Amino acid sequence: MAQMGVDAYRFSISWSRIYPGANEQVNKAGIEHYNHVIDALLQKGIEPYVTLYHWDLPQALQDKYGGWLSENIIDDFLLFSDTCFEYFGDRVKHWITINEPYSFASQGYSGFGTHAPGSCSIRAKCREGDSNLEPYITGHNALLAHASVVALYKEKYQAQQHGLIGITLDSRWYEPLNEESVADMVASRRALDFHLGWFLRPLVFGDYPASMKRLPTFQKGSTNRQQASVKGSFDFIGLNHYTTTYVKAGHASYIVASLHNINPDGHFQVCYKRNGKSIGPQSPGAKWLYVVPWGFKKLLDYVRIQYNNPLIIITENGYADINQHPMTSLKSILNDEWRISYHQDYLTNLLLSIKDGSNVKGYFIWSLLDNWEWGLGFTARFGLHFVDYLGNFTRCPKKSATWFQKFLEK
């Protein structure tokens, strides 16, 4: 990273490394590990951006009370976060509470249960779960946990540590299939509500989108300030964006919705072709990822206009090759022209949105290294650097790494 000229690195702290049990005793070896990571980054002039929760819930908390399905998670997440602020906050100046609550709520508790804990209504796929209810409970508890951690940081640490705290959300851009169809236009906005608005609207305005009728309600009144605690509970919003899809009016079956990682309650359908023409080239490593740079600008413009132009940091944006090693030569694998084209075009649209007034102040590529991509495992390679999984994890810069280095020098 130092050789590339990178000045910031985003990584997550594993909750289980800090509290291996049910938040019973701090693991000093885990503290020491992350102290080394943070200090090594700072020694190279690289600022750490730390995510507290990137989907790795300690098994002990899942076993104890069902993890994110229980409000007990709020106090335990608060304790874990407090510990991280105490030990690392003197050097970490950018905190992200939770990464993509939409993803772990929807993919872990509905669809085919492809993410942990593998809960869904399809008994052929999941032993237990209720996809009509559990994603919403999980998302609600995630928002309350986030808000409690932000309140703690602001009350106890921010004045002394001088850091910023936020949350990372993800969203596609949903383009109406027929721009002259009122029904498709309404469906596209409903799709944005069920993906981005589910979390961003409570954070900015204090309540869920009107289109989401199944969601739990925030308790109000002088005795319970849930709604007030969530509203405005961020210094910045992290935004992960990769792709765009077409949307048309109509109900998607549960199976189809699961395949496309969309919520069937939103009553919209997604597709990738208009009049027989694809919305963009399909990434070979991630079938859901179509290269649609103009969708990036439209999403950023939408956030600026609809959500009071919050401070945004792009915390993920990337392109996936399929893992062809060792069948394909290393020379061919390292020549990743498509990745360069992807980032060049997406950054161009990011710049256009900034010129139009979008308050974007940072950009992270996903990812520095090829890595384990959740449900895709090692089959997809997003990295700027090739990792030889069969050869002692040797790392080689791809052509995109050299391109990014030159980009940062400009």
Tokens representing 101 are 């609550």
Evaluate the CA torsion angle 384, 387, 388, 390 in order and state its sign. Answer: negative
Contacts of 407 (CB under 8 A, 6+ apart): 347
Is 100 among the catalytic positions?
Answer: yes
- Per the DSSP assignment, residues forming a β-bridge with 176 are 247
With vertex at residue 81, the alpha carbon angle to CA 208 and CA 149, rounded to the nearest 5 degrees, is: 35
Is 24 among the catalytic positions?
Answer: no
Contacts of 13 (CB under 8 A, 6+ apart): 34, 50, 51, 52, 84, 88
Q: Around Cβ 361, how many Cβ atoms within 10 Å?
A: 11
- The one catalytic residue in 134, 175, 316, 373 is 316
Evaluate the CA torsion angle 62, 65, 67, 73 in order and state its sign. Answer: negative
- The one catalytic residue in 100, 134, 175, 373 is 100
- Catalytic residue ranges: 100, 316
